Amino acid sequence: MLFFLKLALRSIWKNKRSTITILLVVFICVLTMEFTVGYIEGIKKKMSDDALLNIGHIVLYNKNYHNNLDFMPLEYNIEYNEKVKKVIKQTTNVVSVRPEINFGTLANSERESIDAFVKAIDLNEIKNYEKKKKTIIKGRFIEKDKEFVIGYKAAEMLKVNIGDNLILLTIDRYGSMNAIEGKIVGIYKSFIASEDKSGVICSIATARKLLGMEGKVTEILINVQDFMGYKYQTLGKINKLREKLKKAKNEAEKKKILKILDEKYPLKGAEKIAKDLEERLPDYVVAVPWQKDQGYLIMLLNITDIWIYIILGIIFFVASMGISNSFLINITGRMQEFGVLRAIGVSTKQLFGMIMSESFLLGVIGSILGIIPGILFVYYFQLNPIDYSAMGESLEVYKGVDAVIGTCFSIKDAVYTFITGVLISFFASLYPAFIAVKKKPVEILRIII
């Protein structure tokens, strides 16, 4: 083996033009694959981890509020007191709890008014809104009651700036018109079109005073460990079984599907914790896991996997053709060398081993040259995400996903990409190698003469 590698190194150094051509093809292939995988993994991370972290792995609602979410009926709310907090925080795997009041209002400045959507947050849980704080482009985040931060487009429409007063006018939970005035301390840019156009953030205490909801909230967002439970590919299978359950024609079919779900796919992750919470909280509270409320994410994640395979398949095919063609030209031009080697006693196996060792070395060198800048590109765009704010309105259909998308570096993906680059070079050289060893020494020398 060492003998073949030495011969391969000599050949690589001797045939510089073909070596550079092959290395360039492998370099481009590996670099493209690494960046493509990193970019798609970044999209998947944005859709799963980031989006779900923002909107909550589990959300607690009043059952009637959840059934009428589009209308946000304030009369259907949740009592949020020490007893409820204790039940939630003592539940296994709960990481954070964010009580919120979400409601519609008329936001008024001295000159203009707009329809706005208010998110009222608990200042005691401010640490759980770090991502939201990072979207502030002017001023600061709220720190006390009667302070507001608003979307930058809303600020433009209201013709307001930091330090200006803002009046929220709405109907409280008793059906009476009520208003409250506060000061704008920050303007944010979330890259979610609907939020930027009409979003207002204030404290829960401010919202409770306006709405007459002392000790109550409209929803409680909970983040948990191991929120997936199963890999998203498995979650896709579970969803299909549940769809079949809904369409089951008789009890026997229902029991069969239920048995599969109970035995093969018992509740895990956010779904199990949601069930535990419902059993411990008052009957009027419903705990909605993300798998039920944001189930489209499972489908999107599975679709992105399909796109990965399609894109990498195209790259693999193009690279294979390019490398194979380069090796074929290289070997055709070196027939005299191979004829002499065969004539002095080199066997077909030894010649084949020499060519394959050469292709292996070229694959390793080209993959190293490609993976290093590939990793640097992926890491750079992970730290400096790409801004797709021009597409913000189209991205807003995915709740919790903003228009800033970066790549995601993974050592495992980098290793797989490197190995793939080596294997492409190795297997793409098989056909040219077979052509080289198939010809007899006499035929090669006769062609040369």
Angle between helices 430-438 and 411-428 (to 10 degrees): 20
Instruction: Tell me the C-alpha to C-alpha distance, in Å, between residue 276 and each of 40, 87, 92, 225.
Output: 35, 10, 9, 15
Stronger pLDDT, 276 or 5, i.e. the higher one: 276
For the stretch 77-92, pLDDT in tens is 999 988 899 999 889 8
Res 401: pLDDT: 55
For range 428-449, the mean pLDDT: 69
Residue range 151-181, pLDDT digits in tens: 999 999 999 999 999 999 999 888 889 999 9
**Predicted local confidence at residue 388, as pLDDT:** 67
Q: What is the average per-residue pLDDT within 296-310?
A: 80
Q: Worst-scoring range by mean pLDDT, 86-90, 332-336, 349-353, 408-412?
A: 332-336
Averaged pLDDT, 329-333: 73
Q: Residue 288 in contact with residue 274, Cβ under 8 Å?
A: yes
Per-residue pLDDT for 62 more than 90? yes
Q: What share of the chain is helix, strand, coil (3-state, %, to 5)?
A: 60, 20, 20
66 vs 52, residue with greater confidence = 66
> What does the pLDDT look like over 131-142, one tens digit per residue?
889 889 999 999
Q: Is the pLDDT of residue 361 over 90?
A: no
pLDDT > 90: percent of the chain: 35
pLDDT at 396: 47
H/E stretch holding 254: helix 251-264
Burial of 335 from C-beta contacts in 10 A (0-12 / 13-18 / 19+) = middle
Q: Residues 237-266: pLDDT tens digits?
A: 888 888 888 888 888 888 888 888 888 889
Region 372-382: mean pLDDT is 93
Q: 440 CB contacts (<8 Å, ≥6 apart)? A: 342
Residue 184 — pLDDT band, cuts 50, 70, 90? very high
Joined together, the tokens standing for residue 140 give 């600061």
CA distances from 118 to 136, 149, 173, 234, 262 (A): 16, 10, 15, 37, 41
Whole-number average pLDDT of the chain: 84
**Segment 26-50 mean pLDDT:** 84
Residue type, 38: G
How much is the pLDDT for 397? 44
Q: Is 106's pLDDT higher than 60?
A: yes
CA pair distance 334, 326, nearest whole angstrom:
12
| pLDDT over threshold 60, residue 449 | no
Average pLDDT over residues 13-38: 83
The tokens describing 136, both together, are: 């502030």
Of the pLDDT bands very low, low, confident and very high (cuts 50, 70, 90), residue 119 is very high
DSSP 316-380: HHHHHHHHHHHHHHHHHTTHHHHHHHHHTT--HHHHHHHHHHHHHHHHHHHHHHHHHHHHHHHHH
Question: Does residue 285 register a pLDDT over 90?
Answer: yes
Kindly calculate the radius of gyration of the chain based on its CA atoms and give it in whole angstroms: 31
User: What pLDDT is stored for residue 380 in this prediction?
Assistant: 92
Record the tokens describing residue 13, joined without a space.
């150094």
* pLDDT tens-digit series, residues 193-217: 788 999 999 999 999 999 999 999 9
Q: What is the mean pLDDT of residues 224-233?
A: 86
pLDDT at residue number 357: 81
Residue among 94, 341, 104, 330 nearest 226 (CA): 94
| pLDDT given at position 425 | 83
Kindly state the average pLDDT of the residues 371-380.
93
On the question of pLDDT at 60 being above 90, the answer is: yes
